[in-house]
Amino acid sequence: MSHLDQVLPHGRVLRYSFGERLTHWAAAFSYIYLLLTGLAIWSPWCFWIAAVLGGGQTSRALHPWIGLTFFLAVMRMYSMWSPEMRMTAVDKQWWRSLHHYIQNEDDKMPPAGRYNAGQKALFWSFFYGAILLLLTGIVLWIPESIPWNLRWLRLVSVFLHPVAALATIANFLIHIYMSVFAERGAFGSVIRGDVSLEFAKRHHPGWYEEIVGGSRSAPRK
């Protein structure tokens, strides 16, 4: 497939295929449900959320199943995106220039590809977070079935499940902030799939070069 397939009329360019968008929203909606019900169990001050979502028993019963959905969506992301998420030399420079990025001095940033180093870090934190949350979550799903002499499994899970959740929450907050507020056009791209050429050039110059400059390997559609 030619990279030119990604260029759409009216100065638009396809950033996320239908499959990528569907997977993103499967993960996003399940994560938001897990976050809300998780917060309800995390703190008594948030327990009202469980009441709003149908009661504590309902939240406790559904949280593990929605968790499985989230895990499968993240694994689908892994199969789609992991080759693009490897750290490169540009990414190392990107981290060193992080202070410029934070101050919106994007012209001083090394040219990011389809994903910049921060997005890659987000991806890997969710990938490893999902695995850790699944492993500890299975134990917390059926604590009554863990025999007494294996109770350390329960205790490790009681502690690590919220630790892993907090790590993903930090990345989740930054992700929402970047995509909804900081980069105008990013939120629309994961719904309708396309961004403007200006968006591609400004935020992902390496990727822009691949598509429009037209040399290297074709990116995934």
Partner 1 sequence: MSQATLRVQKISGHAGSIPGEDTQRQYTVAKLVDTTTCIGCKACEVACVEWNDMPFSPTTFDNTYQTMPETRWNYWNLILFNEYEREDGSLMWLMRKNQCMHCADPGCLVACPADGAIVQYTNGIVDFQQDKCIGCGYCISGCPFNIPKFNKETKRVYKCTLCADRVSEGLEPACIKACPTGCLHFGSKEDMVVLAKQRAKQLKDNYNFPNAGVYDPKGVGGTGVIYVLHDATQPELYGGLPSNPTIPLAVKLWKGPLKWLGNIAMVGGLIGLFVHYLRFGPKDRDEAPPPQGARP
Query: Is 45 a binder of partner 1 (CB under 8 A)?
Result: yes
Whole-angstrom distance, CA of residue 137 vs CA of residue 178: 29
Taking the complex as a whole, how short is the minimal distance between the CB of residue 164 and partner 1, in angstroms?
A: 12
Whole-angstrom distance, CA of residue 221 vs CA of residue 201: 18
Non-local (6+) Cβ contacts of 160 within 8 A are 132, 136
Q: Using the rule CB under 8 A, which residue among 184, 213, 214, 216 binds partner 1?
A: 184
Q: Using the rule CB under 8 A, which residue among 8, 14, 174, 218 binds partner 1?
A: 174
Taking the complex as a whole, how short is the minimal distance between the CB of residue 154 and partner 1, in angstroms?
A: 4
Token readout for 126 is 């969710």
Taking the complex as a whole, how short is the minimal distance between the CB of residue 118 and partner 1, in angstroms?
A: 12
Q: Using the rule CB under 8 A, which residue among 7, 80, 187, 220 binds partner 1?
A: 187
Nearer to partner 1, 3 or 203 (CB): 203
Nearer to partner 1, 4 or 156 (CB): 156
Query: Is 25 a binder of partner 1 (CB under 8 A)?
Result: no
Q: Using the rule CB under 8 A, which residue among 52, 87, 150, 170 binds partner 1?
A: 170
Whole-angstrom distance, CA of residue 24 vs CA of residue 106: 26
Nearer to partner 1, 4 or 180 (CB): 180
Token readout for 46 is 């948030």
Nearer to partner 1, 77 or 175 (CB): 175
Q: Select from 16-24, 51-59, 69-77, 111-119 the region that touches partner 1 (CB under 8 A).
A: 51-59
Query: Is 9 a binder of partner 1 (CB under 8 A)?
Result: no
Parallel, antiparallel, or unpaired for β 7-8 and 12-14? antiparallel
Binding site for partner 1 (CB under 8 A): 40-45, 47, 50, 55-57, 59-61, 102-104, 106, 140, 142-144, 148, 151, 154-156, 158-159, 162-163, 166, 169-170, 173-174, 177, 181-185, 187-188, 192, 198-199, 202-203
